[in-house]
Amino acid sequence: MTTPFPFTAVVGQDDLRLALLLNAVSPSVGGVLVRGEKGTAKSTAVRALSALLPQVDVVPGCRFSCDPGSPDPACPEGPHEPGAGVERPARMVELPVGASEDRLVGALDIERALAEGVKAFEPGLLADAHRGILYVDEVNLLHDHLVDLLLDAAAMGASYVEREGVSVRHAARFLLVGTMNPEEGELRPQLLDRFGLTVEVAASREPEQRVEVVRRRLAHDDDPAGFAARWADEEAAVRQRIVAARELLPQVRLGDGALRQIAATCAAFEVDGMRADIVMARTATALAAWAGRTDVLAEDVRQAALLALPHRRRRNPFDAPGLDEDKLDETLQEFGGSEDDDPDPGPDGGPGGDGGQPAPDDGSGGPQGEESGGEPQPSGAGAGEQSAVRASEPFRTKVLSVSGIGEGAAGRRSRARTEHGRTTGARRPQGALTKLHLAATVQAAAPHQRARGRTGSGLLLRRDDLRQAVREGHESNLVLFVVDASGSMAARQRMSAVKGAVLSLLLDAYQRRDKVGLVTFRGSGAEVALPPTSSVDAAAARLESLPTGGRTPLAAGLLKAHDVLRVERLRDPARRALLVVVTDGRATGGPEPVALAGRAARLFAAEGVASVVVDCESGPVRLGLAGRLAGELGGTAVTLDELRADSIAGLVREVQGDRRAA
């Protein structure tokens, strides 16, 4: 068994350590989402926490870790009589990104249930994590339906498995910790809201602190047991403090003054719903218990806000996370000052030490961190070139999809054969049966009942009769934007509208769980402004700083996009591509620009790539070049106005098409 890195030996990352400890004190806080770049001790800190948790008593032999003092009356292996138990360490269970639904919630043996009438249930990871930690690394890459399942279990404290009339329920209370790198894509706001706390982590920019990180890491790798022994006293002290805070927690008083500050803060930052208020209240209470106090102070409310609100104030994926601390202080001061919330400080003089508001981590950033991560603005402009213009306001776009049925990653754009969705047919199972098609199974078995000697009213089933349901849902796609940034579209007002349209399409791609890429062309060539990624906010940042001007090398842009799609097909053959070309259709760069552009477009048509041309041509006289390009691509063309979901022109065209079809 490997020796984990000691929790108290982690350098810096005060917010991360505090958020984890608060959840260890009060699991009802709702878990932690850790956002940050790679190599910032996210996984190390989570794994180290499990060694600090007090041991748990379990019913001997129970696979669902029932508490012998108050066993779960609905335990699938119960009922258990209250009595003595056995002690074991709290578990840390890891949920891999590629896990199936059966691996997460457990699996019913449907064949035995139908043939023998017994509930044969194999527990999943939710059962293993009961009364411990469930850790999901790269939670933003987990399929949405799995995230929904684990967050529902975390909220209800129980997991339910129901299939074809067979139902199993078991307790599932755990500390949920998710880590993610925002560069690889964001979680949906609805899922972000389900995590109690969030912390942003970054590597320190202070040389001395980085030296200490390397020194401790190397010492641990050289002698894990010896390194852990040197930190044993600090680990034991924190473990004892967790136990003491848990015992003190029921005695902590949350006064009306603190509640008013919590409500006023949530209202001031316009967070949706009431979950933020509840999480803040529980967090502030846990902070007081961690500090050894029985009263919640204003500084507890402030720290709770910094942990519970930043991820809840994002209105769209392009909003930067974080909280305006000046506004927070003004709100707390305006609604503070009640004698009810100003008792004498506890033995620690407030939530100081590990439990207080952490001192700034030099160079490590934070909600108001120093790392902007933004794109540099162009320092100058050449002939026929202008600086970047801001995008106009985004809008809801029409649904652009890939025709046919795919088999790519789950999403919301195009039709696909998936494990989830509406049932469209049945087939013989290939491997373990997961989704039974009951009608098809009965139909397959019915003709053989006389030959099998059936005498009663029941139905005799054999394995050959079982049929797997074929389901159709939706997949995500790779949406590759090819944006004309040349002088033909360089009027500032026009480019602002073009950027607004692309930003709207990016927002649509975010909501449909797509990967996106961005190719731009202007001047003498084309470049990949953003390789295909799940981070649409990175694409939005590149788009915002995109300068314009110069000639229009349309062929170069299309050929660059063709290269990008070729490489992506090798990496992910199942993910289908949607090419979105944003241009007025002019081609002026290079020799024979029009002929070259036509040949480049026909490459996509020959390979069957789904494509849409967003026609940006304006003015009373229109040449129709974008429509001609769409014909060469084998795709369709829409104008900027028709791109809007509520476009009257688009609606008229659809109605006319329906009438012609009739």
Quick: pLDDT tens for 176-234. 888 888 777 777 766 777 788 999 888 888 888 889 989 999 999 899 899 999 999 99
* Residue 437: partners with Cβ closer than 8 Å, 6 or more residues away: 423, 425, 426, 467, 468, 469, 470
Examine the pLDDT at 650 and tell me if it is beyond 80.
Answer: no
My answer on whether 263 and 311 are in the same domain is yes
Q: Which residue has the higher pLDDT, 166 or 121?
A: 121
Asked whether residue 79 is assigned to any structural domain, the reply reads no
Least confident of 16-30, 108-122, 479-493, 529-543: 108-122
Q: For the domain that residue 262 is a member of, what is the CATH number? A: 3.40.50.300
Tell me, yes or no, whether 228 and 330 share the same domain.
yes
Q: Which residue has the tokens 């078991």?
A: 170
Whether residue 227 sits in one domain with residue 122:
yes
**564, 567, 570, 573 alpha-carbon torsion, rounded to 10°:** 0
Residue 464 pLDDT exceeds 70: yes
Give the percent of the chain with pLDDT over 70.
83
Cα separation, 173 vs 607, whole angstroms: 51
Is the same domain home to 427 and 554? no
Residue 531: CATH number of its domain: 3.40.50.410
In this prediction, what percent of the chain has a pLDDT beyond 90? 24
Beta carbons of 148 and 105 less than 8 angstroms apart: no
> Alpha-carbon distance 350 to 292, whole Å?
9
pLDDT > 50? residue 455: yes
**345 band by pLDDT with thresholds 50, 70 and 90:** very low
User: Quick check: 465 pLDDT over 60?
Assistant: yes
pLDDT at 447 over 80: yes
Instruction: Kindly tell me if the per-residue pLDDT of 311 is higher than 80.
Output: yes
DSSP state of 435: S
Domain membership of residue 537 (yes or no) is yes
Q: Is residue 562 part of a domain?
A: yes
What average pLDDT does range 389-399 have in this prediction?
Answer: 83
Would you name the residues annotated as active-site residues? 275
Distance of alpha carbon 603 from alpha carbon 375, whole angstroms: 33
Mean predicted lDDT score pLDDT of the chain: 81
Q: Which of 78, 95, 88, 81 is nearest to 136 (CA)?
A: 95
* Residue 430, domain extent: 417-453+460-474
d(CA 430, CA 408): 19
| Residue at 59 is within a domain | yes
Closest CA to 26 of 248, 235, 312: 248
CB 591 within 8 A of CB 544: no
Confidence bin at 651 (pLDDT 50/70/90): very low
Query: pLDDT band at residue 367, thresholds of 50, 70 and 90?
Result: very low
Q: Is residue 72 part of a domain?
A: no
Q: What are the CA-CA distances from residue 89 to residues 20, 51, 133, 237 (Å)?
A: 18, 8, 11, 17
Question: Looking at residues 319-342, what average pLDDT do you find?
Answer: 73
Do 425 and 395 lie in a common domain? no
Determine the length of the chain.
662
Paired residues of 464 in beta bridges: none
What is the structure's pLDDT at 63?
87
Q: Which of 232, 248, 341 is nearest to 290 (CA)?
A: 248
Tokens, residue 370 = 């120093």
119-125-127-129 Cα dihedral, nearest 10 degrees: 170
Confidence band for 655, pLDDT divided at 50, 70 and 90? very low
**Would 615 be classed as within a structural domain?**
yes
- Same domain for 465 and 344: no
94 & 203 share domain? yes
* Helices vs strands, H then E, count in the chain: 21, 22
Segment 393-421 mean pLDDT: 84
In this structure, the answer to whether residues 38 and 133 fall within a common structural domain is yes
Q: At what angle do helices 554-571 and 593-607 cross, to 10 degrees?
A: 20
pLDDT at position 422: 72
Q: How many angstroms separate the CA atoms of 170 and 159, rounded? A: 6
Same domain, 339 and 289: yes
Of 97-111, 340-354, 612-626, the one with minimum mean pLDDT is 340-354
In a domain, 78, yes or no: no
Q: How many folded domains does the chain comprise?
A: 3
Does 299 share its domain with 389? no
Q: Is residue 70 part of a domain?
A: no
Q: What is the 3-state secondary structure (H, E, C) of 23-49?
A: HHHCHHHCCEEEEECCCCCHHHHHHHH
Is residue 460 within 8 Å of residue 454, measured between CB atoms?
Answer: yes
Please report the pLDDT score of residue 316 as a whole number: 60
**Before 79, cis peptide (omega within 30)?**
yes
Q: pLDDT tens-digit profile of 275-296?
A: 899 999 999 999 999 999 999 9
Is the same domain home to 344 and 491?
no
How confident is residue 356, by pLDDT bands cut at 50, 70 and 90?
very low
Where is average pLDDT lowest: 407-421, 590-604, 622-636? 407-421
Categorize the per-residue pLDDT at 416 as very low, low, confident or very high, splitting at 50, 70 and 90: confident
Same domain, 275 and 133: yes
